[in-house]
Amino acid sequence: MIKSILTVFLFIALFNITSAQNSAVSITVHLRGVSDSKLSLMPLSGPKQFKSIAEVQSVKNGETTTLQVSKEYLPGEFVLRFDYKEKKESTPYPSEKHILINTQDIELWVSPMYCNNPDSTWYQKDEKENAAFASFSKENSHQKEKLGLLQQFLMNYDDTKSKFYQQGIEEYELRRMAYNQWLDKQVKKDKALFASSMYRFSYVPQIAWEGNETDRLKNVISHYFEGIDFNDPVITRTSQLNEWMNSYVNLYGQMATTVALRDSLIPLAAYTAVEKAKQGNPIVYGWMVDYFYRGFESNNLPTGMKVLEPYLEDPNCLTSKRMEIERRLKGMQTLVVGSKAPDISLKDAEGKTFELNAYNPDTKYILLFFWSADCSHCIETVDAVYPWQQLDEVKQKISVVGISLDETETEVKAWEQKTKSLGGWKQLRAPDGVRSKVAADYYVLATPVMILIDAKTKEIVSLPATFLELKTNPQ
């Protein structure tokens, strides 16, 4: 879970890409086939990603309603969610439809139960963005079919020295180039549409078929960015850019045979990608820094964070995470083994004030555990640490102080429910979450974070990034 601690004003620059004439766009929905439904519209990118920006609480069968989409979110990809009741007494059931919105008002006739079936749900006849993307996706699948078969053959054929294999490589290259040329034509044909900014993520890079698997990976990496226009800021509004970059990072991950090698390769991936994006639009450049910041923060990778430091001084880098990265770097210099842990003053579950400096358990160590109940990685870590810490030989050495950064009503309820199964841990909650004083004192921008301290001196003993590191700490 990564929660912003700032009002990131640079997102204004990031998402104010469209022309000044672009006004709010309306989505008119004609509902049918169910008793009634709640409607929610959620962007798939940007600061409001996966959060509702427009809602209608109830629309009944046969009724029409309209959602207004502010220009700050446009153009963009969205999910139109229906929480519908098939019958009046039914329990609400969700369904979702992916939708592209640019400058054109949209009219949609929809049956929520079959919202992705073109026979049951359709747009007005002159709708452009979604029609273009649907047409491209259908033809793209056809165009790539034979290329995929050739690629599978080359990946699995056992005699790479044979003439037949060489002929396969030649045929593959001819078809790959032909496909990419077709892709270029589609982009040019629909260049006035937002949908076209997503086409190039289908670009097929060059592969060195003659080498071993590592050679192939390195070759794909070296050609990976050829198909994308980093001068086009609109690509930062697509969900595909994030997915495409995940695939890029995974190529480096495939070459990592050890954790140490991974921790050196991923920062290299970041440096290569940011340097490439640096040559393009400042918005894309800033997006790339933000992307790797989130990855390094959530995976607690200090070497990666160091790679990003030089770009903070570049005025052309429109990163929304500048202050967060600077804060994280400061924390890496301040919270080190041997330094004194900052005092903590929070109310415990019983409403009593807990102060870390005054806390003197019978154990040798205290584990400060920053977490959130809506963070899946946190829950996985909790479920690993708790049974281990409850072992007699560990329980006598380590006591745990859990510090929740949950804020919303839903999160707090989940935290309260989870703590019922964590008997023996001191449970605290910082009401302001990642904006709280304790989060600031410990430079916590994402959870989970574990800090092992000496129970008597309150000095930091270690900063385990994983449960395995915690287990292997000298005790």
Distance CA 223, CA 15 (A): 29
Q: Read off the pLDDT band of 1 (50, 70, 90).
A: very low
- pLDDT in the model for residue 362: 93
- pLDDT in the model for residue 127: 97
CA-based radius of gyration for the chain: 26
Q: Mean pLDDT for the chain?
A: 88
Closest CA to 200 of 273, 272, 136, 274: 136
CATH hierarchy code of domain 345-471: 3.40.30.10
Helix 239-255 and helix 213-223, axial crossing angle in degrees, nearest 10: 150
Q: Read off the pLDDT band of 20 (50, 70, 90).
A: very low
CB of 46 closer than 8 Å to CB of 18: no
Q: Name residue, tokens 């829950």.
A: 379
Give the contacts of 184 (CB within 8 A, at least 6 positions apart).
none
Average pLDDT over residues 370-379: 88
**Sign of dihedral through CA atoms 463, 467, 468, 473?**
positive
Distance CA 465, CA 288 (A): 24
H or E element in which residue 399 lies: strand 398-404
- For the segment 52-87, what is each residue's pLDDT rounded down to a tens digit? 999 999 999 999 999 999 988 999 999 999 999 999
- The DSSP line for 121-160 is -EE-TT--HHHHHHHHHHHHHHHHHHHHHHHHHHHH-S-T
- Percent of the chain residues past pLDDT 70, beyond the cut: 92
Q: Can the peptide bond before residue 448 be classed as cis, meaning omega within 30 degrees of 0?
A: yes
The residues spanned by each domain of the chain are 10-127, 132-333, 345-471
- Neighbouring C-beta atoms of residue 335, cutoff 10 Å: 19
Average pLDDT over residues 27-43: 96
- pLDDT in the model for residue 444: 83
Residue 132: both structure tokens together: 């273009």
Give how far Cα 408 sits from Cα of 40, 404, 413, Å.
19, 12, 9
Distance CA 382, CA 117 (A): 42
- For the segment 306-337, what is each residue's pLDDT rounded down to a tens digit? 898 888 778 788 887 665 666 666 766 778 89
Q: Which of 155-164, 190-199, 339-348 has the highest mean pLDDT?
A: 190-199
Q: Please state which CATH class domain 10-127 belongs to.
A: mainly beta
Average pLDDT over residues 173-181: 94
Residue 345, pLDDT > 80, answer yes
Residue 33, pLDDT > 80, answer yes
- For the segment 108-166, what is each residue's pLDDT rounded down to a tens digit? 999 999 999 999 999 999 999 999 999 999 999 999 998 989 988 888 888 888 999 99
Sheet with 76-85: list strands edge to edge. Answer: 54-60, 36-43, 76-85, 93-101
Residue 441, pLDDT > 90, answer no
Q: Read off the pLDDT band of 224 (50, 70, 90).
A: very high
Q: Read off the pLDDT band of 475 (50, 70, 90).
A: low
